[in-house]
């Protein structure tokens, strides 16, 4: 089975940095994904890590440590539109099925 943990809520100020941690215990590993989901909308793909290290995409970066079963998503220069739920998902031994954490709701305040 898959066990994926992330904090329920985080609050940060516009322009600041927030780091969302995700820990996982899974039967097999074939990639870790981060998705952003605004209320009432579909999840949208943010990042993908399969090897250890940092992947940077503009204001968003994602880090993976496979030996520790740990990832984080770093959001820099926060904007009000970044207020959303951020979902951590792990792909197991197969190459298709994702198991999601419950999501972290980030609230950006002015």
List contacts with another protein (CB under 8 A): 4, 31, 33, 35, 41-45, 48, 50, 87, 89, 95-103
Angle at 9 (CA atoms; ends 31, 37), nearest 5 degrees? 55
> Of 44 and 79, which has the nearer Cβ to another protein?
44
Least CB distance from residue 45 to another protein, whole Å? 4
Least CB distance from residue 103 to another protein, whole Å? 5
Phi and psi of 100, rounded to 5°? -105, 145
First to last CA, the chain: 40
> Of 44 and 107, which has the nearer Cβ to another protein?
44
Least CB distance from residue 25 to another protein, whole Å? 15
Neighbours of 82 (CB within 10 A): 20
> Of 81 and 96, which has the nearer Cβ to another protein?
96
CB 20 within 8 A of CB 72: yes
């Amino acid at each position: 089975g898959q066990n994926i943990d992330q904090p329920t809520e985080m609050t940060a100020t516009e322009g600041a940095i927030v780091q969302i941690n995700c820990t996982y215990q899974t039967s097999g590993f074939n990639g870790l994904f981060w998705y952003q989901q605004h209320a009432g909308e579909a999840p949208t793909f943010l990042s993908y890590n399969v090897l250890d290290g940092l992947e940077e995409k503009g204001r968003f970066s994602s880090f993976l440590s496979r030996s520790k079963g740990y990832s984080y998503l770093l959001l820099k220069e926060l904007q009000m539109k970044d207020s959303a739920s951020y979902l951590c998902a792990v792909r197991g031994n197969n190459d298709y099925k994702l198991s999601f954490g419950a999501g972290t709701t980030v609230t950006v305040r002015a």
